[in-house]
């Protein structure tokens, strides 16, 4: 079973113009001076006019970035069937509760034993969905739901990322309790969501897209109080490259 009508990348040109896929709160970013570029048909914020200061925030305090362009694909079915599909598409990965797995740029996140969320870069979403749907069609009682626009997603990056989350959730994010690849469906700012520890000081927060403006306000306000700020994709990239270099 598939739900392709929910796929944002299935949009068709209108009068010869292909509509861009956008964050649900693009207007917020525009008001804040956001500058934009496109990636695999998605419009995203590159920076807010201060890329150097944004990169510095990710290194020294905390940066919050809207990464709603990430694909979110959920496979559902009997636990054994879901495990088999994930193993087939994720290089034999066996998921355990509370821990996600990264395989070829796709995060596989176990919500429950019979529900797994694949979080994909935008350039891989369509292919991942096709592969998941093919695997689900060949299995008994399995389905794939396209949830890319149903969930908003923010990256929270920097040495004060955990402190930022601490102002909105009771989940213990200390490394010894929520290590790299830790994943948890959890209440954040009194809203149902999910947190993924992508490694180091980098976290991903997933939440209902209808709460995107509220969640953005909560986290940016918390970041500013800690000396951080809203950041664009360029700052995230610089932060990631710096971390790789530090561990080289």
Average pLDDT, the chain: 91
Other Cβ atoms closer than 10 A to 59: 16
Q: CA 224, CA 117: separation in Å to the nearest integer?
A: 31
Query: What is the per-residue pLDDT across 47-61, written as a single tens digit (0 to 9) for each?
Result: 999 999 999 999 999
Q: Boundaries of CATH 3.30.1360.120 in the chain? A: 27-68+150-246
pLDDT grade for 21, boundaries at 50, 70 and 90: confident
Query: What is the per-residue pLDDT across 83-137, written as a single tens digit (0 to 9) for each?
Result: 999 999 999 999 999 999 999 999 999 999 999 999 999 999 999 999 999 999 9
Q: How many residues does the chain have?
A: 248
pLDDT grade for 11, boundaries at 50, 70 and 90: low
- Is the pLDDT at 243 greater than 60, yes or no? no
The closest of 225, 164, 217 to 195, measured between CA atoms, is 164
Identify which has the larger pLDDT, 242 or 160. 160
Q: CA 191, CA 204: separation in Å to the nearest integer?
A: 15
Which pTM does this prediction carry?
0.91
Six token digits for residue 81 = 């069937």
The mean-pLDDT minimum among 17-21, 64-68, 100-104, 197-201 falls in: 17-21
**Following CA atoms 172, 174, 177, 182 in sequence, which dihedral angle do they give, to the nearest 10 degrees?**
90
CATH for the 27-68+150-246 domain, from 3.90.1720.10, 3.20.10.10, 3.30.1360.120, 3.90.79.10:
3.30.1360.120
Fold entry, domain 71-146: Alpha-Beta Plaits (3.30.70)
pLDDT grade for 18, boundaries at 50, 70 and 90: low
Q: Boundaries of CATH 3.30.70.1400 in the chain? A: 71-146
Predicted pLDDT of residue 248: 29
- Is the pLDDT at 17 greater than 80, yes or no? no
Question: Which bin fits 246, alpha (ψ -120 to 50), beta or left (φ > 0)?
Answer: alpha
């Amino acid at each position: 079973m598939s739900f392709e009508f929910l796929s944002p990348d299935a949009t068709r040109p209108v009068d010869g113009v292909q509509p861009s896929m956008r964050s649900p709160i693009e207007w917020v970013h525009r008001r804040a001076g956001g500058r934009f570029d496109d990636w695999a048909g998605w419009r995203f914020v590159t920076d807010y006019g201060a890329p150097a200061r944004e990169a510095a925030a990710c290194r020294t305090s905390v940066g919050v970035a809207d990464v709603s362009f990430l694909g979110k694909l959920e496979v559902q079915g009997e636990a054994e069937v879901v495990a088999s599909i994930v193993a087939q598409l994720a290089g034999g990965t066996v998921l355990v509760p509370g821990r996600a797995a990264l395989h070829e740029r796709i995060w596989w996140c176990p919500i429950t034993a019979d529900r797994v969320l694949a979080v994909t870069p935008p350039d891989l979403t369509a292919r991942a969905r096709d592969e998941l749907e093919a695997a689900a069609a060949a299995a008994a009682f399995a389905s794939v739901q396209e949830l890319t626009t149903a969930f908003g997603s923010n990256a929270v990056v920097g040495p004060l990322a955990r402190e930022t989350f601490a102002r909105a959730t009771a989940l213990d994010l200390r490394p010894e309790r929520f290590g790299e690849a830790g994943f948890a469906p959890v209440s954040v700012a009194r809203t149902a969501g999910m947190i993924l520890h992508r490694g180091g000081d980098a976290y991903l927060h997933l939440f209902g897209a209808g709460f995107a403006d509220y969640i953005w306000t909560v986290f940016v306000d918390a970041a500013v109080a800690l000396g951080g700020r809203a950041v664009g994709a360029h700052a995230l990239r610089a932060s990631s490259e710096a971390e790789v270099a530090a561990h080289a």
